[in-house]
């Protein structure tokens, strides 16, 4: 991974930044926080006559590439929806395979991410995942906690409604009065309250749903949908989503 450079001098741009600029992206107006709903792994595999779990493995390869591209492009925050609470409704063999894949990916990629100054975070009810996966996530968070580059958050056993419920429960346990439960107070009790809200939400595989992902934080996020399934997602799709983001006027509920 090449360190991002200021957009003022084209001669110092890395390959990813150069491709983005050539496609019409302004490096001075990048979204600060990009969130991605990684959808279509199973469909990608099924359409090729392959087991669904192979689709998830191919999706892992896409994620490796996207993290590198996000870093090289100069994004500050990247959050991906890796495992939902609803995932437990999948067939047992697929569910178990997903868990093992996420754990392996977390451990395998940790050294590279740490070397490249990436800070690893997690969001979700991490205490409810299997012990070995929880330990892998905690190791990644601890190892990279002092890094200052891209903040990469893996949403695991995550649900947006559950996050809000957990925040309210925390406020109640602190003895908050009804008057004290404000938007600011609730937001301060979300899983990663120090991370800014996403500016851009990308969803793959052509689906137009939010699917319970960062539903509080993404209230004013711009949505970009691509027909490409997650195993097919590449830099060109990221660039296109950012171009859509930069073409819109964000009003945040105003006129």
3-state SS string for 67-126: HHHHHHHCCCEEEEEEEEHHHHHCCHHHHHHHHHHHHHHHHHHHHHHHHCCCEEEEECCH
Question: From CA 141, how far away is CA 133, in angstroms rounded?
Answer: 12
pLDDT of residue 218: 96
Q: Which fold has domain 31-247?
A: Undecaprenyl pyrophosphate synthetase (3.40.1180)
Is the pLDDT at 155 greater than 70? The verdict is: yes
Question: From CA 163, how far away is CA 81, in angstroms rounded?
Answer: 14
Is the pLDDT at 237 greater than 60? The verdict is: yes
Residue 163 sits at the vertex; the CA angle it makes with 135 and 187, to the nearest 5 degrees, is 115
pLDDT of residue 2: 47
Q: What angle, rounded to 10 degrees, do the helices at 235-247 and 52-73 form?
A: 60
Mean pLDDT of 205-211: 93
Which residue matches tokens 């947006």? 160
Is the pLDDT at 14 greater than 80? The verdict is: yes
Mean pLDDT of 188-203: 98
For residues 244 and 222, the answer to whether their CB atoms sit within 8 Å is yes
Is the pLDDT at 182 greater than 70? The verdict is: yes
For residues 230 and 246, the answer to whether their CB atoms sit within 8 Å is no
For residues 98 and 60, the answer to whether their CB atoms sit within 8 Å is no
pLDDT of residue 96: 76
Is the pLDDT at 4 greater than 90? The verdict is: no
Q: What is the rounded average pLDDT for all residues in the chain?
A: 91
Q: Structure tokens of 144?
A: 């990279």
Is the pLDDT at 54 greater than 80? The verdict is: yes
Is the pLDDT at 3 greater than 80? The verdict is: no
pLDDT of residue 5: 46
Is the pLDDT at 92 greater than 80? The verdict is: no
Is the pLDDT at 94 greater than 80? The verdict is: no
pLDDT level of residue 124 (50, 70, 90 thresholds): very high
Tell whether the torsion through CA atoms of 219, 221, 225 and 228 is positive or negative: negative
Active site residues: 39, 56, 150
Between 57 and 253, residue with greater pLDDT: 57
Which residue matches tokens 């977390």? 106
């Amino acid at each position: 991974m090449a360190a991002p450079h200021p957009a003022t001098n084209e001669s110092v741009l890395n390959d990813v930044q150069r491709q983005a600029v050539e496609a019409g992206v302004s490096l001075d107006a990048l979204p600060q926080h990009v969130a991605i709903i990684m959808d279509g792994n199973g469909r990608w595999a099924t359409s090729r006559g392959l087991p669904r779990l192979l689709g998830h493995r191919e999706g892992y390869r896409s994620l490796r590439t996207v993290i590198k591209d996000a870093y090289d492009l100069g994004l500050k925050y990247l959050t991906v929806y890796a495992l939902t609470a609803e995932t437990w409704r999948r067939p047992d063999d697929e569910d178990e395979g997903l868990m093992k894949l996420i754990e392996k990916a977390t451990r395998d990629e940790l050294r590279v991410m740490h070397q490249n100054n990436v800070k690893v975070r997690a969001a979700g009810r991490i205490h409810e995942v299997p012990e070995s996966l929880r330990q892998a996530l905690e190791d990644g968070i601890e190892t990279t906690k002092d890094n200052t580059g891209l903040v990469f958050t893996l949403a695991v056993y995550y649900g947006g409604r559950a996050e809000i419920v957990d925040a309210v429960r925390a406020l109640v346990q602190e003895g908050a009065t009804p008057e004290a439960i404000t938007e600011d107070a609730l937001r301060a009790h979300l899983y990663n309250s120090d991370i800014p809200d996403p500016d851009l939400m990308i969803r793959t595989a052509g689906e137009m749903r939010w699917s319970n992902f960062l539903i509080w934080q993404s209230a004013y996020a711009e949505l970009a949908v691509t027909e490409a399934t997650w195993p097919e997602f590449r830099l060109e799709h990221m660039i296109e989503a950012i171009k859509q983001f930069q073409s819109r006027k964000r009003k945040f509920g105003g006129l």
